[in-house]
Structure 1
């Protein structure tokens, strides 16, 4: 059994797709399938049920997955344990990102980290089902660090450090009657068809919760997991209105953004296991992201915004 085979198994188990697993492994699908098949032959057990349209883990596969994470984590820790002898930070950090990082330029922070520590591999993950899935990945060890926006879920086993917070605004076409308002109550949008993220996304939960608290039933007619650019185009073409973080709305041309009378605040946390369980590379990346957020706050205070 090779370490690479175990890694291939984990990729497929997380994605529940040989195609997406091969993409993460940076190999062709046929090579990934062969790797998994060899592993199953060596173990003399079937790890995946391929009899249905969507593959599933067998009972043996479920049991093997928990130990597979332990093996991969141990191999990474072993490799990083000798970093002090080379004088260079090394290893790999699995990082879960968000569709939007608000006012913090996460890409720039990752770039600074990479230039300062070129021997550390960064593996980025962008969930298509919402960042809530990152919490279980952090707990089981398949992620090291993640940005999460989950207003009602703070697992006690994880460190959840507030990275930033900013108010949401209402976005509509300039020819809408609501565009002329200086501020809106949430009740004012009761009749609006909304464009938003699917259930499971933190921003969707935030808005649905705020509307429910205001006695308004959310009418999210269009669910878009692709990001704010796609949402903006739907709004621009008259298919609905939307709620966005203020930093995203400021980037728009040709649409109106209106402040909310009762603020709805989007909070994004940097989530990880407790500090004593982090690798050196993960700790340094976490501090890089937290510093980037602190710099944004200082700039905002100096600018008076």
Structure 2
């Protein structure tokens, strides 16, 4: 069993398609198929269930995938460690990011990293926070920039980036627009626009509403910040989001309102401001790769200079 075969197997499993996997690996489809067949012959069991339209993992394939991902991550870490001793950073740095994080500009950060380490290939994956945690845990990601992670959810290292309050965003014509803030008791009647449940802002908002004992209806779920702001602007609902969203160019015509603590005699038992924290997630139970540590060093230096 060769590392190359495991890489081929993992890529087909991720793409669920031999042609797409071959394009991603820059190999011929026939060569990729032969590599996977040889692996199946060595293991004496099919790894994929193949039809004319789909490629699905068998039970044996699912079992192998977990170990194959770990093995490839370990091999990359070994190569990176040797290069680091030689004073070089080579190989691949795979970074995960949720597009809502504050305290860092991923584009500027990765550009600075590339200038300092031009021989290292950078890969970027944009996902929700829970998917990012899974990616770092199983070695698919070297590190991730995520949001609102508790120590109970993550046993590895968490480096704080920024903490800010969440605010209510509404259109200029909304009934809340003339206020400076909104109490929790005024929110149950509203329709909300929010991200999918594994995204950091959604998780923070869901937890806050549950703590406040306030039920809400998320009518529209989106997967990007631009769509959320556009839907709010069109008056299709309001959103509870990190404060820095209100500073985005697309939010120029929106109104940002503070979340206020309920009146002492009111029916709502919740709190006032909701905190939203952005963090760097590093692997548990194993040393972070040299590339990950170099990237974290850039983040630390930028924070010391007061940059974002």
For normalisation by structure 2, the TM-score amounts to 0.83
RMSD: 3.0
Decide which structure has greater helix share: 1
**CA 1:106–1:58 in structure 2 vs 1: closer, same or farther (change >3 Å)?**
same
Q: CA deviation at 1:72?
A: 1.3
**CA 1:97–1:171 in structure 2 vs 1: closer, same or farther (change >3 Å)?**
same
* Equivalent position to 1:246, from 238, 243, 246: 243
Q: CA deviation at 1:60?
A: 1.6
1:228 aligns with 2:225: yes
- Which stretch of structure 1 is more off in the superposition, 240-249 or 53-62? 53-62
1:113 aligns with 2:110: no
2: distance between equivalents of 1:194 and 1:29?
A: 48
1:126 aligns with 2:121: no
Number of the residue aligned with 2:192: 194
* Equivalent position to 2:295, from 285, 289, 293: 285
1: distance between equivalents of 2:75 and 2:238?
A: 49
SS in 2 for 1:277: coil
In the alignment, structure 1 segments of 5+ residues that lack a partner are 301-305
**CA 1:12–1:147 in structure 2 vs 1: closer, same or farther (change >3 Å)?**
farther
Q: CA deviation at 1:73?
A: 2.6
- Which stretch of structure 1 is more off in the superposition, 231-240 or 56-65? 56-65
2: distance between equivalents of 1:200 and 1:29?
A: 36
**CA 1:216–1:135 in structure 2 vs 1: closer, same or farther (change >3 Å)?**
same
SS in 2 for 1:178: coil
* Equivalent position to 1:265, from 250, 267, 275: 275
Which entry has the higher C-alpha Rg, 1 or 2? 2
In the alignment, structure 2 segments of 5+ residues that lack a partner are 261-271
Number of the residue aligned with 1:161: 159
SS in 2 for 1:89: coil
Number of the residue aligned with 1:303: none
Question: Can you list the C-alpha shifts for 1:185-211, whole angstroms capped at 9, x where unaligned?
Answer: 122221111110112222112111211
**CA 1:54–1:101 in structure 2 vs 1: closer, same or farther (change >3 Å)?**
farther
**CA 1:194–1:53 in structure 2 vs 1: closer, same or farther (change >3 Å)?**
farther
Number of the residue aligned with 1:101: 101
**CA 1:103–1:277 in structure 2 vs 1: closer, same or farther (change >3 Å)?**
closer
**CA 1:70–1:24 in structure 2 vs 1: closer, same or farther (change >3 Å)?**
farther
Number of the residue aligned with 1:208: 206
2: distance between equivalents of 1:152 and 1:260?
A: 22
Question: Can you list the C-alpha shifts for 1:206-257, whole angstroms capped at 9, x where unaligned?
Answer: 11121122221121000001x1101111111221111221111111221111
2: distance between equivalents of 1:115 and 1:131?
A: 28
- Which stretch of structure 1 is more off in the superposition, 101-110 or 22-31? 22-31
Q: CA deviation at 1:133?
A: 1.9
2: distance between equivalents of 1:238 and 1:36?
A: 52
Number of the residue aligned with 2:269: none
Q: CA deviation at 1:136?
A: 2.4
2: distance between equivalents of 1:82 and 1:184?
A: 56
Q: Is the 8 A contact 1:132 1:149 kept in 2?
A: no
1:92 aligns with 2:92: yes
* Matched positions, count: 294
1: distance between equivalents of 2:245 and 2:31?
A: 39
Q: CA deviation at 1:37?
A: 4.2
For normalisation by structure 1, the TM-score amounts to 0.84
SS in 1 for 2:173: coil
Q: Is the 8 A contact 1:236 1:255 kept in 2?
A: yes
2: distance between equivalents of 1:253 and 1:209?
A: 28
